[in-house]
């Protein structure tokens, strides 16, 4: 494939700088690419009811597990899953997960130290970030030790790699799911293969039995979801629902966060003054907190928040949001003298996140890494609808708090203990892999990690 759909959407966004929306074809189906943040805001928030479906279809008779993922649901089923899962992602629940995440970050620091001693530099930072988020999701969602940092043959890591990491078979599968959804049922194409589902089903069953027999409470996702009080009208949660929710936690939460973490580390390595400023903030907050990192102290690291926001702007894991118009809708005229445009029910509507994030109209010097754009004073000036790493409105990413926390925990641990530098093996400027529907650096992110004498 020469260019992924995501990069093509960015090209179209850049080709028509003066219009609020552009008509495009998705193979042979007419679709709309929306450029104007004001209209995007309306689609995602005010008029959400007219665009409540994502433009990805799975047949529940073919892929019953994926069909329980809120991203792929709509209507009443989506509302029920969304409200059940939202309960698992509150700030209070994140606070309970923090010690588990911190423990994984300690393993990561030990791993980097050992690797550096053994001449492991430069390190493949996407792989490092993948190990971290894999073990983190393993412990927070399934209550097990993923062992990615100690066992090169870790079962959990191997299974994780099969879900969303780039491969020819994944590219082909996504091509069918996104462009020829009607063929997926016929060809019985599934998001997640049966043996991967069986693996997770077994892990969950064994874990739940063990906890029951040993009266173990861990306050992780499995505890929360199994003890959740359902609304009177909600159907009771079956074992398959719990398996599906846990798999969706893994599928949605591990790869996106590992991408975001690897690019954040690259941006810090490529911008040494930012790295130094961040290290000073981290050390200062930790000093004030008696020498330890806590959930609360992370909330006081404002510059860290700016660094991550800026990295998600330049390297947003998702190139675009793909919605479906679910009831006829009127777009405002393209020009003052023009007419309203009717969008028919069933029309795909593309929101080109990557194009917006790199548009100088909204972010001057868009290629430059400037975390200060997101300072308290400056972020009020960011045009709503132009910054969407997690989407917006009714379908905003449900795992956003979890993602931000796990990435911050990893950045803090690394920046505190290591000087990070871009190794010459990294090809700069980074070239985005044209074959994948999420953002990947084509030739990898290779960084050197030098232990600091704190
Ligand atoms: C940096 C990491 C992440 C990024 C950039 C990200 C981004 C997104 C985006 C762009 C959407 C679509 C929003 C829309 O349609 O308006 C989304 C939806 C979703 N995300 Fe994430 N995500 C991340 C991490 C996570 C994690 C950690 C989880 C769970 C553990 C998660 C679970 C979900 C789910 C379930 C949805 C579907 C929500 C719905 O349709 O109601 N994501 N995410």
Q: Any idea what the CATH number is for the domain that residue 278 is in?
A: 1.10.630.10
Whole-number pLDDT of residue 289: 96
Q: Which atom of ligand 1 is nearest to the CA of 137?
A: 30
Whole-number pLDDT of residue 167: 59
Cα 389 to middle of ligand 1, angstroms: 9
Read off the pLDDT of residues 172-199 as tens digits, 9 standing for 90 and up: 666 666 666 666 666 666 777 888 889 9
Residue 436: exposure state from Cβ atoms within 10 A (0-12, 13-18, ≥19): buried
Eight-class DSSP state of 42: I
Query: Backbone phi, then psi, for 5, in 5-degree steps?
Result: -55, -40
Query: Backbone phi, then psi, for 444, in 5-degree steps?
Result: 85, 165
Residue with tokens 């892999």: 433
Whole-number pLDDT of residue 437: 82
C-alpha 172/C-alpha 286 separation (Å) is 47
397 is in an annotated binding site: yes
Cα 398 to middle of ligand 1, angstroms: 6
Cβ neighbours, 10 Å, residue 370: 18
Q: Please tell me if the CB atom of residue 13 comes closer than 6 angstroms to any atom of ligand 1.
A: no
From first to last of the 454 residues of the chain, give the pLDDT tens digit.
Answer: 578 889 999 999 999 999 999 999 988 899 999 999 999 999 999 999 999 999 887 888 888 888 888 998 999 999 988 988 898 899 999 999 999 999 999 999 999 999 999 888 999 999 999 999 999 999 998 888 999 999 989 988 888 777 755 555 666 666 666 666 666 666 666 777 888 889 989 999 999 899 989 999 888 999 988 887 777 777 778 888 888 888 888 888 888 999 999 999 999 999 999 999 999 999 999 999 999 999 999 999 999 999 999 999 999 999 999 999 999 999 999 888 889 999 999 999 999 999 999 999 999 999 999 999 999 999 999 999 999 999 999 999 999 999 999 999 999 999 999 999 999 999 999 999 998 888 999 999 999 999 998 7
Residue with tokens 């004030």: 288
Q: Please tell me if the CB atom of residue 271 comes closer than 6 angstroms to any atom of ligand 1.
A: no
Q: Please tell me if the CB atom of residue 391 comes closer than 6 angstroms to any atom of ligand 1.
A: yes
Name the residue with the closest Cα to ligand 1, atom 6. Answer: 390
Whole-number pLDDT of residue 64: 86
Structure tokens at 408: 């911050």
C-alpha 182/C-alpha 180 separation (Å) is 5
In a mutational test of the pocket of ligand 1, which residue from 224, 323, 390, 392 has the highest number of ligand atoms less than 8 Å from its CB?
390
Q: Please tell me if the CB atom of residue 79 comes closer than 6 angstroms to any atom of ligand 1.
A: no
Query: Backbone phi, then psi, for 424, in 5-degree steps?
Result: -65, -15
Read off the pLDDT of residues 274-332 as tens digits, 9 standing for 90 and up: 999 999 999 999 999 999 999 999 999 999 999 999 999 999 999 999 999 999 999 99
C-alpha 56/C-alpha 382 separation (Å) is 30
Return the axis-axis angle of helices 302-314 and 272-288, rounded to nearest 10°.
150
Nearest residue to 268 (alpha-carbon basis) of 167, 371, 180: 371
Which domain range does residue 357 map to? 5-451
Name the residue with the closest Cα to ligand 1, atom 1. Answer: 257
Return the axis-axis angle of helices 239-253 and 194-214, rounded to nearest 10°.
110
How many separate domains does the chain show?
Answer: 1
Structure tokens at 415: 């920046």
Residue with tokens 């590219």: 171
Name the residue with the closest Cα to ligand 1, atom 26. Answer: 253
Rounded to the nearest 5 degrees, what angle is found at the Cα of 399, between the Cα atoms of 179 and 376? 110
Name the residue with the closest Cα to ligand 1, atom 42. Answer: 399
ipTM above 0.95, yes or no: yes
Q: Which atom of ligand 1 is nearest to the CA of 318?
A: 10
Whole-number pLDDT of residue 187: 60
Q: Report CA-CA distances (Å) from 321 to 272, 350, 355, 392.
A: 33, 6, 12, 10
Whole-number pLDDT of residue 58: 80
Beta strand ranges found along 76-220 (DSSP E): 123-124
Cα 105 to middle of ligand 1, angstroms: 23
Whole-number pLDDT of residue 183: 65
C-alpha 388/C-alpha 392 separation (Å) is 7
């Amino acid at each position: 494939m020469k260019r992924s759909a995501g990069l093509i959407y960015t090209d179209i966004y850049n080709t028509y700088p003066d219009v609020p929306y552009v008509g495009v074809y998705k193979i042979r189906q007419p679709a709309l690419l929306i450029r104007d943040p004001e209209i995007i805001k309306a689609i995602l928030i005010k008029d959400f009811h007219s665009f409540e479906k994502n433009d990805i279809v799975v047949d529940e008779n073919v892929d019953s597990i994926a069909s329980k993922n809120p991203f792929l649901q709509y209507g009443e089923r989506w509302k029920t899953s969304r409200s059940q899962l939202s309960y698992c992602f509150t700030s209070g629940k994140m606070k309970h997960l923090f010690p588990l995440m911190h423990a994984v970050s300690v393993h990561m620091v030990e791993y980097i130290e050992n690797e550096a001693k053994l001449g492991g530099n430069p390190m493949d930072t996407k792989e490092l970030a993948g190990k971290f988020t894999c073990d983190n999701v393993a412990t927070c969602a399934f209550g097990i030790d993923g062992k990615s940092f100690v066992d090169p043959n870790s079962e959990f890591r191997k299974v994780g790699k099969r879900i969303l990491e780039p491969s020819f078979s994944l590219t082909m599968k996504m091509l069918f799911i996104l462009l020829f959804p009607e063929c997926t049922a016929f060809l019985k194409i599934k998001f997640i293969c049966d043996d991967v589902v069986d693996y997770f089903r077994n892990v969950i069953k064994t874990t739940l039995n063990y906890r029951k027999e040993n009266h173990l409470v861990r306050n992780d996702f499995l505890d929360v979801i199994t003890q959740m009080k359902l609304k009177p009208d909600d159907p009771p949660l079956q074992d398959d629902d719990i398996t599906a929710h846990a798999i969706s936690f893994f599928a949605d939460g591990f790869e996106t966060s590992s991408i975001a973490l690897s690019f954040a580390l690259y941006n810090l390595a490529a911008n040494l003054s930012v790295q130094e400023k961040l290290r000073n903030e981290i050390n200062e907050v930790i000093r004030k907190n008696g020498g330890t990192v806590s959930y609360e102290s992370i909330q006081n690291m404002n510059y860290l928040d700016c660094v991550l926001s800026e990295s998600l702007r330049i390297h947003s894991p998702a190139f675009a949001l793909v919605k479906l118009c679910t009831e006829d809708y009127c777009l405002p005229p393209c020009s003052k003298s023009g007419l309203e445009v009717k969008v028919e029910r069933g029309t795909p509507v593309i929101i080109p996140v990557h194009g917006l994030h790199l548009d100088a109209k909204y972010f001057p010097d868009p290629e430059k890494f400037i975390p200060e754009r997101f300072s308290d004073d400056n972020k009020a000036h960011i045009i709503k609808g132009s910054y969407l790493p997690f989407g917006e409105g009714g379908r905003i990413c449900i795992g956003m708090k979890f993602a931000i926390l796990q990435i911050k925990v990893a950045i803090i641990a690394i920046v505190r203990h290591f000087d990070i530098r871009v190794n010459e093996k990294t090809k700069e400027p980074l070239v985005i892999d044209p074959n994948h529907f999420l953002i990947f650096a084509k030739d990898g992110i290779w960084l050197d990690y030098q232990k600091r004498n704190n």
